[in-house]
Amino acid sequence: GKTDFDLFAEEHARPAFNDEQEIIRTGEPIVGKLEKETFDDGHFNWVTTTKVPLKDDQGHIIGTMGISRDITELKIAQDSLAQERTLLKTIIEHALAGIFVKDRSGRYLVVNQRHVKYLGAESEADIIGKTLYDFFDCEEAKRISVTDAQIMESEHGIENLIDHRHRADGSELWLLTSKVPLKDEDGRCIGL
């Protein structure tokens, strides 16, 4: 016999009431809506809600019925992952060194602006999905790729390798390079 206004704070009760009135007016259900259920004491839950029209024997809409699934733990985990992703992206982008991630075939998956500049490209979009062979002459790309392959096969990284490189435009570059294998959740090497 109670309403959402008896159970929840106005912040949740009012939109829930408005949704139900719209369902009664239109007959259109709401499926899988993400809602924050706020209680008067300040605590809250995250739920996915599905509501449909409730009809009498003649097919007239007389109310609504629905189900809400508590996904609070899932929502907290998703928010935590989003924060970690934002933090990692910020660290990568503002690092004072070139940072990249490649798959096992040597295709770039992630690059920061320093690595974009190092490769002589204009933007990250110019690099993602490409390999060293798109940025260095064949011999130079092969030399670097052999080292990358050895790291992925041995699954042992290298630290502070002093490396001399020749760019496609003929310029020279000295680098202090560290590379490590990238592993999936099962411990398999999936890149560098």
Q: How confident is the model at residue 172, as a pLDDT?
A: 84
* pLDDT per residue as tens digits for the range 147-174: 999 999 999 999 998 988 776 677 888 8
Q: How confident is the model at residue 100, as a pLDDT?
A: 96
* pLDDT per residue as tens digits for the range 125-147: 999 999 999 998 888 899 999 99
* pLDDT per residue as tens digits for the range 3-61: 999 999 999 999 999 999 999 999 999 999 999 999 889 899 999 999 999 999 999 99
Mean pLDDT throughout 68-92? 95
Q: Which sign does the torsion angle of CA 9, 12, 17, 18 carry? A: positive
For the record, the structure tokens of 69 come out as 């699934």
Percent of the chain with pLDDT over 70: 99
Query: In degrees rounded to 5, what are phi and psi of residue 102?
Result: -125, 155
Pair 53, 36: CB distance under 8 Å: no
Long-range contacts of the stretch 113-120 (C-beta < 8 A, 24+): 118/173, 120/167, 120/168, 120/169
Pair 101, 127: CB distance under 8 Å: no
